[in-house]
Amino acid sequence: MIEKTFPIAEKLLSNGLKLTQKLFELLNAEYEQLKVKKDPATIASLAAHKKDVVAQLEQFSKQLGQVLATEKLLVSQEGIHSYLAKAKASGINIADSHRYWLDIATLTKTCRTLNEKNGASIDLLSRHTQRALQVLRGKSQLATTYGPDGSTRSELFSHTLISV
């Protein structure tokens, strides 16, 4: 059976690597945009493209899972390695597929780290924006306090400095 599914798996892995590379490029572009803080529209566009690529990667994972299921394997490091070992034992040249998978695994880790950095940058920018809005509304920068019972509450006394 692996002789029939391997060409499909190899094509899937090749496509998966291209998608992972595209995601890496988008994350890098987003990182650069966040560094210069110039164009929110570009960041929004990059986020939309990322969402599309992630959806395609999810489809890739499902399809790869179907191929691996023919050999009763799961989509995981071990599943892929077992699949490739079975293919090699059947006399199939796995060199390209093995390289594709190693590149996907390495690049995925890099993407995860870069995505976490971008998320932290976005969170920081969001906090700064919220603080600026609180100042403009005349609220304390420490908008939330704790009551005697431990519950949180917002500032009770504030006045608007300007109206937008």
Q: Which residues on neighbouring strands pair with residue 144, listed in sequence order? A: 154
Of residues 6 and 149, the one with the higher pLDDT is 6
Q: Where are the domains of the chain?
A: 1-137
Mean pLDDT of 19-48: 90
- Residue 64, both tokens: 């790869």
What is the per-residue pLDDT across 55-99, written as a single tens digit (0 to 9) for each? 999 999 999 999 999 999 998 999 999 999 999 999 999 999 999
Alpha-carbon distance of 79 to 126, in angstroms, equals 40
* pTM score above 0.85: no
Alpha-carbon distance of 14 to 104, in angstroms, equals 9
- Evaluate whether the domain defined by 1-137 bears CATH number 3.50.50.60: no
